[in-house]
């Protein structure tokens, strides 16, 4: 391990040991996912999960939308921060995940605050009223990031937020050799279009795999 890697590792350990612990149910979910699912690394994880909860507390949204549920980990974290009467809608295209997701949503204290919708987000988003959401978390197919953004923008209230995950894509946004990979292309296209989009304010946080915070003007 080089000095830089070691320092980053210790900093991460320090951050984890000085932040809120991961709730027991989410620890259990992660273990289950690592044992039984493909690609468990897609899960937001401990620190990003605590951050999502904190952001939701700060924004105090009535309606939240998540695009890309996977196991339900980040859905539970988002719902943890909701105020009384707040509700989260989370969309997952892969119906094979439904049993796993429901197993954990049903055990969660947040269960009543979460509606799981199985289907393609691009079909489901148009069924919501305009200006309905105060916060949207985009974390699905990287090739469709711009499509999700355009579909969801009219559904977000003025002053509302959109968070977009993985916008640094493991540093591949800087690496010319990955430009042909369609997922990297999707992220690059999204980041470039967003950077010059006057309808919104935006800032990329270099947290985990890059998290873009967007505010609708
Ligand atoms: C990165 S994972 C989500 C991780 C989850 N948000 C978390 O942090 O725990 C992406 C998920 O998006 C789903 N997905 C991909 N395309 C989608 C679409 N068009 N509509 C809804 N879900 C989609 C995938 O099946 C996958 O489960």
CA-nearest residue, atom 27 of ligand 1: 70
When the pLDDT of each residue in the chain is averaged and rounded to a whole number, the result is 95
CA-nearest residue, atom 9 of ligand 1: 43
Q: Which residues form ligand 1's pocket by a CB distance below 6 Å?
A: 42-44, 67-68, 70-71, 73-74, 91-94, 120-122, 139-141, 144
- How far, CA to CA in Å, does 121 sit from each of 40, 93, 163? 21, 7, 16
- Distance, in Å, from the CA atom of 198 to the CA atom of 15, rounded to the nearest integer, reads 35
**Is residue 153 helix, strand or coil?**
helix
Per-residue model confidence (pLDDT) at position 172: 87
Strand order through the sheet with 87-92: 114-118, 87-92, 63-67, 133-138, 156-165, 211-216, 200-205
Distance 108 CA to ligand 1 centre (A): 20
Range scoring the smallest mean pLDDT among 39-53, 168-182, 198-212:
168-182
Which pLDDT band, with edges at 50, 70 and 90, does 72 fall under?
A: very high
Q: Percent of the chain, pLDDT > 70?
A: 96
Q: Are strands 133-138 and 87-92 parallel, antiparallel or unpaired?
A: unpaired
Distance 195 CA to ligand 1 centre (A): 24
Alpha helices in 60-130 (DSSP H): 73-80, 98-107, 121-124
Taking the domains of the chain in order of start, what are their residue ranges?
A: 24-216
Per-residue model confidence (pLDDT) at position 1: 52
Per-residue model confidence (pLDDT) at position 6: 85
pLDDT digits (tens, 9 = 90+) for 165-178: 999 998 888 887 66
For domain 24-216, give the fold.
Answer: Rossmann fold (3.40.50)
Q: Which of 140, 142, 150, 151 to mutate to test the pocket of ligand 1 (most atoms within 8 A of CB)?
A: 140
Which pLDDT band, with edges at 50, 70 and 90, does 139 fall under?
A: very high
**Is residue 48 helix, strand or coil?**
helix
Give the pLDDT mean for 44-52: 97
> Strands, DSSP E only, in 105-179?
114-118, 133-138, 156-165
Per-residue model confidence (pLDDT) at position 179: 64
- Residue 65 in tokens: 């939308």
Nearest to 150 by CA among 120, 119, 193, 180: 193
The atom of ligand 1 lying closest to the CA of 91 is 21
pLDDT digits (tens, 9 = 90+) for 99-116: 999 999 999 999 999 999
Give the pLDDT mean for 53-73: 98
């Amino acid at each position: 391990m080089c000095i830089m890697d070691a320092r980053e590792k210790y900093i991460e350990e320090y951050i984890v040991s000085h932040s809120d612990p991961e709730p027991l149910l989410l620890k259990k979910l992660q273990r289950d996912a690592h044992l039984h699912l493909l690609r468990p690394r897609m899960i937001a994880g401990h620190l990003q999960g605590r951050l999502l909860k904190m952001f939701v507390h700060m924004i105090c949204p009535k309606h939240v939308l998540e695009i890309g549920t996977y196991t339900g980990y980040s859905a539970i974290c988002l719902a943890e921060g909701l105020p009384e009467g707040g509700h989260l809608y989370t969309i997952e295209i892969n119906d094979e995940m439904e049993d796993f997701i429901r197993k954990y949503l049903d055990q969660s204290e947040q269960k009543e605050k979460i509606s799981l919708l199985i289907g393609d987000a691009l079909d489901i988003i148009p069924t919501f009223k305009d200006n309905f959401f105060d916060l949207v978390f985009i974390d699905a197919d990287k090739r469709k990031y711009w499509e999700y953004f355009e579909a969801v923008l009219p559904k977000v209230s003025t002053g509302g937020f959109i968070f977009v995950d993985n916008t640094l894509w493991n540093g591949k946004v800087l690496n010319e050799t990955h430009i042909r990979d369609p997922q990297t292309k999707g992220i690059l296209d999204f980041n470039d279009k967003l950077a010059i989009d006057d309808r919104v304010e935006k800032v990329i946080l270099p947290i985990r795999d890059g998290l873009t915070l967007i505010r609708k003007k």
